[in-house]
Structure 1
Amino acid sequence: MSRVINKLGKEELYRSEDDIKSNFSYIDIIKNTDNLPINYSSNQNFIKNNICLYSHDNSFLIGYMLVSTYNKISGHEKLLECFNNIFNPLVIDQATIQKSLTLRTLENHNNYDSLFEKFANTARESDIFDCTKGWRNEKYTIYDNNKTPYIKLERAMVNIFGILTFGVHINGYFFDDKNQLRMWIPRRSAKKPTWPLKLDNVVAGGIGNDDTVDTTLWKELKEEANLNREDIENNIHQVDALSYFYFSKDLDKCDFQDESDVITAELEFIYDLEFPKGIAPYINDDEVHEFKHYGLQELINLLKTDEFKPNCALVVIDFLIRHKFITPDNECKYADIIAATHRKLPFTSI
């Protein structure tokens, strides 16, 4: 295990002999979230099993749909009818064999929302997709080239359309009387539809229903950790934006037959909150099982297990880099980690 050593009153992280022998790198933890190669779009297995979804004028990419998902839709009469009202017929490029679907041109773009809503409700009624069991009654937004809302669709549809989603993640921490780092880490509720009982960041949430980044920040702080704005406003700072794909499998070996094989992307706005004395997170809803704070060595040990929700481990690693615990001196693939957590994504964004 990596070792934490106190040097001149400051904690520093050192590679252990085991780390050196095993060639351990934190990039291995990052790959539990994003293991998609840079050149994935030219990979033959990707091309064979994925469909590119484009805007009505073919000017920007909306998402990636699995061929297996398309086949499921095609086998359900009512669902296919809804789908065909949204997309033009499937096109296969004869040179690359890449498959694509383009949105039908509508006189009013707002009509896309109602068409996608009808499709989502029909998909839920059909009960052929597992993702509809996690229905949220929350809309996620797809933006056009001008950063204007283009389509709003039910959050549970992400695994069907493989879109870019947005969120807010907050690192909550403090330094104890010995000037040693303590990080607040919640354990997700067993009732969560995704990643139950996994470790998380102190507060995290998706940006939906036309909320802004700032609105989401304060809403989630109150809902998930019972934190009041007036108590922490001077201690919280936006520090980064992390961009990555959510695909942890081997691209060459994946058969893309399961809904979870879909390739999605995320852009997360990252905040650091150094807790003032006397302020702590408390459970305020049914999304959190417990809050605990961990020291640096405990945190490093936990990162090397499967206890964390994968992208939350990625956020913690970013924190440790920015606070100079993980450095080029103790991490052999430092530059690779920076690149992997700040990927250039092919989608339009906020």
Structure 2
Amino acid sequence: MACNPHTLSLRFRSSFFSLYNSPLSPRSLPNTLLRSSLSSQSLNSTIHRSIATVSASKFTWDDVFNIARSRNDSSDLRGFFDKIEICNRGSEKRNEFISFVIEDQMVGYVHNGFAEYLRRFQNVFIFFQNNSYGNHADNHVTLHPNLETPEERTRAVADVVKCLGEELIPGIRNELYPVTSSFGIPAFFSLERAAAPYFGIKAYGVHMNGYVERAGKKYLWIGKRSEVKPTYPGMLDHLVAGGLPHGISCGENLVKECEEEAGIPSSISNGAIPVGAVSYMDIDGYRYKRDVLFCYDLRLPEGFIPKNQDGEVESFKLIPVSDAANVIQKTQFFKPNCNLVIIDFLFRHGFIRPEEFGYLKLLQSLRSGDCS
């Protein structure tokens, strides 16, 4: 497929690069300002780009430990609610999206603005006026009927993503995600990971809490992401986490990520226990993230020391679970979706109790997205 060099307007290019280089970050905004700004699509985009691509995380482990050990009201859950809210922005913007339909199945959502770029590829995308799929715009987009097989669809859409390029879809990784209407069914085709939110497809990942029990007290292994990571550089992360690519099971992917990210051999990682899932829905400009994270717990031997193998983690520290909870409540040091998985851990291990005001609401909010 030939690409038109003028596909992207100069105005878009200019606005993108000014956005990309913005110094704003959620950590630099008071919580009240952050909350009030969530209704603004332009500021949403600025915040997302900043936290994802500009290192707004120039903190040290000393900063983490100083905050972790500060006094905290364990019955106040507001800090947890704030972190879940950050992962679930933009619900009022859903009417700006149209349904993406394959073989009469709704697989995603496409923003009206992004759809204008796709309309230029008439041999790949077809647009219809129809309200059958319950969307607000009374229309939907599908793939051209000549694209009959998953392989043909994958190649055709990949060509479109390549033509649109980094200026419209930043962070292309050459990693494919399956496009399905729900987890576990055969994929209609596979899509570049970076493009997944621009097509609003469900994306799945595996996140593992690696913990140690010592003298009756639980500790979490926490990683600090490399400062050269293209996404969320320098922020705190789980011991092991990763997206779920096409053609690999959750368990297989977890074992692979354990070896790559923390040097955990399969003889240990095979003991990881699947404990459920969390989900969130985040609308940010053209992006509609519908993510489901499969959660795992792995109790590690006291003497085990994780060691990163792929250069994506700067260092690891073993932190009391209650201290990690304190950091989540008081800072935005953690990569945003990691907060949800650790909050889920806090529920399951009794660190958040039913006596605390908002217990059930917080528990329900961990699955604010389409968990299917």
Question: What TM-score range do you get, normalising by the shorter chain?
Answer: 0.7 to 0.9
- Structure 2 residue 360 is matched with structure 1 residue 335: yes
Could you tell me which of 162, 171, 188 is aligned with 2:209? 171
Counterpart position of 1:70: 115
Distance verdict in 2 for CA 1:232–1:344, change over 3 Å: closer
What SS is found at the alignment partner of 1:69?
A: helix
Match of 2:85 in 1: 31
Give the drift of 1:135: 1.7
Task: Tell me which residue corresponds to 1:102.
Answer: 142
- Name the SS of the counterpart of 2:219 in structure 1: strand
Tell me the equivalent position of 2:73: 16
Q: Is the 8 A contact 1:191 1:286 kept in 2?
A: no
| C-alpha contact 1:172 1:202 (8 A) present in aligned 2 | yes
Partner of 1:252: none
RMSD, aligned α-carbons: 2.6
In 2 relative to 1, CA 245–193 (structure 1 residues): closer, same or farther, beyond 3 Å?
Answer: same
User: Gaps (5+ residues) in structure 1?
Assistant: 1-13, 75-79, 248-255
One-letter identity of the residue aligned with 2:324: L
Per the normalisation by structure 2, the TM-score is 0.73
SS of equivalent residue, structure 1 residue 299:
helix
Cα distance, 1:301 vs structure 2: 2.1
Give, in angstroms, the shift of residue 86 of structure 1.
Answer: 2.4
CA distance in structure 1 between the aligned counterparts of 2:252 and 2:334, rounded to whole angstroms: 26
CA distance in structure 2 between the partners assigned to 1:113 and 1:295 by the alignment = 45
Instruction: Tell me the CA shift for residue 90 of structure 1.
Output: 4.6
Q: Which residue of 1 aligns with 2:47?
A: none
Q: Which amino acid aligns with 1:207?
A: L
Alignment of 1:70-89 (within 5 A): 70-73=115-118, 80-81=120-121, 84-89=122-127
Q: Work out which of the residue numbers 181, 185, 188 in structure 1 matches 2:218.
A: 181
CA apart distance, 1:63:
1.1
Show the counterpart of 1:116. 157
Matches within 5 A, 1:110-149: 110=150, 111-124=152-165, 127-129=166-168, 131-132=169-170, 134-144=171-181, 147-149=185-187
**Is 2:94 the partner of 1:46?**
yes
1:309-341 deviations in Å (ceiling 9; x for gaps): 1110110000000001101112x2222222222
The more displaced of 85-94 and 290-299 is: 85-94
* Residue aligned with 2:364, SS: helix
Distance 1:292-1:102 versus aligned 2 partners, 3 A rule? same
Whether contact under 8 Å (1:66, 1:160) holds in the other structure is yes
Distance 2:232 2:108 in 1: 23
Aligned equivalent of 2:345, options 293, 309, 319: 319
How many Å separate the matches in 2 of 1:107 and 1:323?
49
Structure 1 distance, partners of 2:218, 2:142, is 50
The one-letter amino acid paired with 1:67 is N
Secondary structure of the structure 1 residue equivalent to 2:149: coil
What displacement does 1:233 show? 3.2
Query: Partners of 2:187 and 2:343 in 1: how far apart?
Result: 32
Q: 1:154 aligns with which of 173, 189, 192?
A: 192
Distance 1:114 1:105, change over 3 A: same
Give SS of 2:352's match.
coil
Provide the rounded CA distance (Å) in 2 between the counterparts of 1:25 and 1:313: 10
CA contact (8 A) 1:27 1:336 kept: no
User: In 2 relative to 1, CA 86–181 (structure 1 residues): closer, same or farther, beyond 3 Å?
Assistant: same
Q: Which runs of 5+ in 2 are unaligned?
A: 1-70
Q: CA deviation at 1:344?
A: 6.1
SS of 1:204's partner is: strand
Change (3 A) 1:96 1:65: closer
- Structure 1 CA distance for aligned equivalents of residues 246 and 98 of structure 2: 27
**Aligned counterparts of 1:144 and 1:25: Cα–Cα separation in 2:** 33
In structure 1, C-alpha distance between the alignment counterparts of 2:211 and 2:359, rounded to whole Å: 23
Query: Equivalent of 1:245, from 252, 268, 281?
Result: 281
